[in-house]
């Protein structure tokens, strides 16, 4: 059995932007504190939701450094360091380790993609370059590459590859991965609407977009699952399902940043090519927040 990085709800935290498009570190710190104070179990910095794909190398490194210092050991900090260029991912992963990240989140290669054997070679190269644990990130809808269960099993044989964030949406595939890997590979849901079923299969929690807005409630859903109270967890998940859906009515992280703005944070807008949602989508989002009493809730 390998050491588990965290159990519960880790937030895939947004990167707040100023009006000129620069990173608003003060507001990032405010969001980190808000999440930790409300029960978030890990901070995932520079992931998809954090807009890492539009960051400069310097910004990427500075965001990791800032998150590590701001979190100050209160919860684990997991740094997104994946790339479609293996050497780049290796170098960024080394840098994150030096900065004090507790673990890495490494997405599959995208655009140029690779074979299943290529995935094993890619992730093995990253794992061999660092000592800290690695979470594989499987999100084929964005990358065009899918980590198949047998590939996950091969990768689970590597000591510091300890978990997978599963955002394939394919419960049958996730079931097969869980059956093959057992306690050699922790599974985190990568989709907020699949927390309960994935944790019923033995998953350890979620890497969550929803947690940006309702960290306490997302943590509670996971905690109930960890206590095998799946019916109660499902009831709570059902209550937040309209918001979960609204947070994905446009390309992530467009809706979640708008949701945080509506709540009273200064998340700003996304960097292009992501642009503001159409009015109808924003209205759906506002209604979901209003129904939960979250409009203007942050002062």
Q: In whole angstroms, what separates CA 159 from the centre of its chain?
A: 22
C-alpha span between 220 and 237 (Å, rounded): 10
Quote the DSSP letter at residue 191.
Answer: S
Q: Which of 70, 165, 204, 257 is catalytic?
A: 165
C-alpha span between 209 and 247 (Å, rounded): 8
Concerning whether 137 is annotated as a catalytic residue, the answer is yes
Instruction: Catalogue the long-range contacts made by 111-116 (C-beta closer than 8 Å, 24 or more residues apart).
Output: 111/84, 111/143, 111/144, 112/84, 113/84, 113/143, 113/144, 113/145, 114/145, 116/148, 116/150, 116/151
C-alpha span between 134 and 79 (Å, rounded): 10
C-alpha span between 49 and 65 (Å, rounded): 18
Tokens 């990427």 belong to 60
Q: Which of 11, 22, 24, 56 is nearest to 261 (CA)?
A: 24
How far apart, in Å, are the Cα atoms of 159 and each of 88, 98, 184, 186? Answer: 22, 19, 9, 13
Neighbours of 119 (CB within 10 A): 23
Q: Which pair of structure tokens corresponds to residue 149? A: 């269960």
**Helix or strand (DSSP H, E) at 105:** strand 103-107
Concerning whether 2 is annotated as a catalytic residue, the answer is no
Q: Which of 66, 88, 131, 137 is catalytic?
A: 137
Active site residues: 137, 165
């Amino acid at each position: 059995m390998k050491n588990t990085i965290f159990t519960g709800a880790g937030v895939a935290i947004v990167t707040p932007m100023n009006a000129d498009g620069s990173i608003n570190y003060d507001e990032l710190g405010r969001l980190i504190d808000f999440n930790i104070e409300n029960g978030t179990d890990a901070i995932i910095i520079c992931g998809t939701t954090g807009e890492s794909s539009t960051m400069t190398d310097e910004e990427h490194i500075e965001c990791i450094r800032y998150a590590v210092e701001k979190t100050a050991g209160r919860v684990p900090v997991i740094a997104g360091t994946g790339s479609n260029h293996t050497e780049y991912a290796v170098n960024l992963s080394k840098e994150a380790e030096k900065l004090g990240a507790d673990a890495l989140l490494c997405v599959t290669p995208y655009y140029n993609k690779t074979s299943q054997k290529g995935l094993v070679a890619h992730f093995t190269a990253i794992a061999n370059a660092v000592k800290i644990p690695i979470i594989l990130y499987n999100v084929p809808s964005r990358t065009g590459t899918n980590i198949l269960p047998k590939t996950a099993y091969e990768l689970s044989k590597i000591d510091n590859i300890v978990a997978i964030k599963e955002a394939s949406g394919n419960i049958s595939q996730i079931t097969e991965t869980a059956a093959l890997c057992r306690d050699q590979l922790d599974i985190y849901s990568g989709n907020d609407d699949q927390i309960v079923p994935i944790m019923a299969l033995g998953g350890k929690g979620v890497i969550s977009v929803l947690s940006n807005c309702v960290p306490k409630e997302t943590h509670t859903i996971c905690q109930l699952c960890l206590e095998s109270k799946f019916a109660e967890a499902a009831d709570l998940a059902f209550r937040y399902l309209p918001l979960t859906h609204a947070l994905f009515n446009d390309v992530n992280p467009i809706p979640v940043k708008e949701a945080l703005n509506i709540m009273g944070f200064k998340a700003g807008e996304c960097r292009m090519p992501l642009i503001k949602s159409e009015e109808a989508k924003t209205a759906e989002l506002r209604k979901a927040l209003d129904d939960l009493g979250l409009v203007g809730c942050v002062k």
